[in-house]
Structure formats: C-alpha cells, structure tokens
Amino acid sequence: MAEMSFLPAADGPGALAARIAASLAARSGFDAAAKLRLMAGGRQVGWLPRGHAGILRGFGAVLGPEQPLADGSVGVALLPGCNGFDARSAMLRTLARQLADAGHVRGWRDELFAVTAALDAPAIAVVERAAARFLGLLTFASHMNGIVDGGSAGQPALWISRRSPAKAVDPGMWDNLVAGGMPHGSDPLATLVRECGEESGIPPELAQRAQAHGSIEVLRDLPEGVQWEQVYVYDLLLPPDFTPRNQDGEVSEHRRVEVAPLLAIMSAGAMTVDATLVTLDALRRRGWLGAGEPD
C-alpha cells in the first residue's frame, strides 16, 4: 500500500462523519439470504455461504441436508454423524488442508480456532484459522486502543499500527495499536497481553493494566467468505515517552496521531473495519468526538 498523507479534513464535522459512515457501509455488507446457518449440536456456529456449501459437498460427508429453521432461514449441520471433539477436529484438519490445496483457503497460519456458538460455550472442535472465514465461523479477537492523554499540556493522541504488506488479511492497512485473533484455549485478556508483546513490545506488567470496554460484533461478507467476529475492546493509557516496537514482523509501522488526522485516516477507508469501530468507540467514550461526528 502506497504511503499516504493524512491531514485534518477541511470539511465540517458532518461531512467527515458522513465519509466515515459511507466507508464503513461500503465494506460491511451482509446478505443473509445467500448464507446457510451452520449448525452444530443444535446451535449456530457459522454463516456458511451457499457457494461454499457446494464446494464442501465435493469433499464428502461434511454437511448434512438443508433444513428449514423456525425463523424462516435455512440451516445445515456441520459434520453430521461425527461424534467427539478429537474426531471432528481431525476431519476439519483434513478438510482445511484440502481446501488450501484446491486454492479456496490462503494464508495458512498453523493456529487453531474454536468451532463454537459462543466464547463461554464448549468448543465442538478446532480448525485451522485460515479456514474460519471460508466456513463463516464465529471467531473472537482482542483489540486495544493505545492512548496518550495530552492532559492540559497538549492534545490527546492514539498510537496506531500499519499491518505488514505480507499479511493475508487487510495487508498494509491501518489497525489498532494491538489487535489479534483469539486461539482456542485462550481468553480476551490473555490474547491481548500476548499480542501486546508481539506487536508493540508492551511488557506484560503494562499490558495487564488495559481496561476492558465490552465487545463489538462484526458480521460482513468478504471475498474469502464471512467475517463473523466478536471483538473485545480494551484501552491502555500509555506513558508519554513510550514508543511501540514490533517483535513478530506483522506490523510495518507505528504512528502516533492526534484525533483530527486519525478521523481523516478513517474517513479515507485506510483503517480496517474492526479497528475503525474500536477507535470510534474509544473516541466517543472519552468525549473526543466533536458535535456531528459519528456516533
């Protein structure tokens, strides 16, 4: 992604808000009619695109027959007749590799995500992370706003990070200072603390001070499938002299930005959808959005 210069918008706050809203809307479409509710144990674990269902049926008995549900939608069972966590996980491991070999799944991560109906529900299996969006699975992530409060001496600012151009998802886009998917067996805070160290060099004793601010659900169509994600939101107040340093190669740049240029970055559509929502949430909570800015 080419380097861009973002300056405070000359437009009024209403125009800036409209551009941010338009950018989010353009990237957040979801067509439920083109999906099957992917079911396991009587509960929904994903939104499976109908076209992907046809591909899966070519790999054997992965899906059950389509069944009408009480709300008028259509469901389909995942791995019908396959019982037990280990057996289902083994079948999904084989399936994910088949999908990757056939070119349907890219960006293999060697990281396992839970197949589950909720964060606090037992996982029925695990699957390679790269296959989660193809299946439209419910996934979980932790995002953190890195905040520098200017106090009476200056303007507040946020640290943001640019995703590596080698990333399989949203390469080169701006992101929250810390953002990471939650692997099976982790939890929101543990995920955040780990990602703080890997992405920004934030030591655990500082990362543990992050304040939780609920979650945001993201449900949208993507070229590779569906992003259905529960994003757990955190804020961390950073020392004024702190400078983040990436440790794992997944971040190409960190930048400290004040609110006006940050809004301009978001209005240009240069920040990921999830990070835009998480950032706006922090700015709203802290009263740093002017009148007419996005709610």
* Whole-angstrom distance, CA of residue 24 vs CA of residue 15: 14
Lowest mean pLDDT segment, chosen from 151-165, 182-196, 236-250, 259-273: 151-165
Q: Are 1 and 173 in contact (CB under 8 A)?
A: yes
pLDDT digit string (tens) for 99-149?
A: 999 999 999 999 999 999 999 999 999 999 999 999 999 999 999 999 998
Token look-up 């996980």 returns 89
Q: Are 266 and 160 in contact (CB under 8 A)?
A: no
Please name each of the domains of the chain with its CATH number. 13-27+141-217+231-285 (3.90.79.10), 32-138 (3.30.750.160)
* Whole-angstrom distance, CA of residue 181 vs CA of residue 261: 27
Instruction: Retrieve residue 101's tokens.
Output: 């070999």
Beta bridge partners of 115: 125
Beta bridge partners of 162: 174, 253
Kind of pairing, strands 225-237 and 138-148? parallel
pLDDT digit string (tens) for 231-281?
A: 999 999 999 999 999 999 999 999 999 999 999 999 999 999 999 999 999
Strands (E), 52-153: 67-68, 74-77, 112-115, 125-128, 138-148
